[in-house]
Amino acid sequence: MLKKAILISIIIILLMFLLARFQIYAPLSTNSEEKVFRVEKGDGLGRISANLEEHGFIRGDVFFNIYVYLQGKESVLKAGDYLLSSSISIKDIADKIIQGEEEGLKITIIEGWDIKDIAEYFSDLNICSEEDFLQVTEGQEGYLFPDTYKITSTASPSDLVEIMRDNFEKKLSPKLRQEIEQQGKTIFEIVTMASIIEKEVRTLEDKKIVSDILWKRIGINMPLQSCATIAYILRKKSTKISVEETQIDSLYNTYKYVGLPIGPICSPSLESIEAAIEPEESPYWYYLSTPEGKTIFNRTFKEHNIAKAKYLK
- Which pLDDT tens digit goes with each residue over 36-68? 888 888 899 999 999 999 988 988 788 888 888
| Chain segment 271-302, per-residue pLDDT in tens | 999 999 999 999 999 999 888 889 999 999 99
pTM: predicted TM-score of the whole model, two decimal places: 0.73
User: Alpha helix locations (H) across 220-262?
Assistant: 227-234
pLDDT of residue 60: 76
Domains of the chain: 20-99 (3.30.1490.480), 105-171 (no CATH), 183-282 (no CATH)
Q: What pLDDT score does 15 carry?
A: 47
**Is residue 19 helix, strand or coil?**
helix
Give the pLDDT score at 66. Answer: 87
User: Which pLDDT score, from 0 to 100, does residue 69 have?
Assistant: 87
- Tell me the CA distances in angstroms from 146 to 119, 138, 266, 273, 277, one per residue in order: 13, 17, 10, 12, 18
Q: Which residues contact 187 (CB under 8 A, 6 or more apart)?
A: 172, 177, 180
| Residue 250 Cα distances to 233, 236, 267, angstroms | 8, 15, 20
* Spans of the chain, pLDDT less than 50: 15
82 CB-near residues (< 8 Å, 6+ apart): 36, 37, 38, 39, 93, 96, 97, 101, 102, 103
In contact, 286 and 303? CB cutoff 8 Å: yes
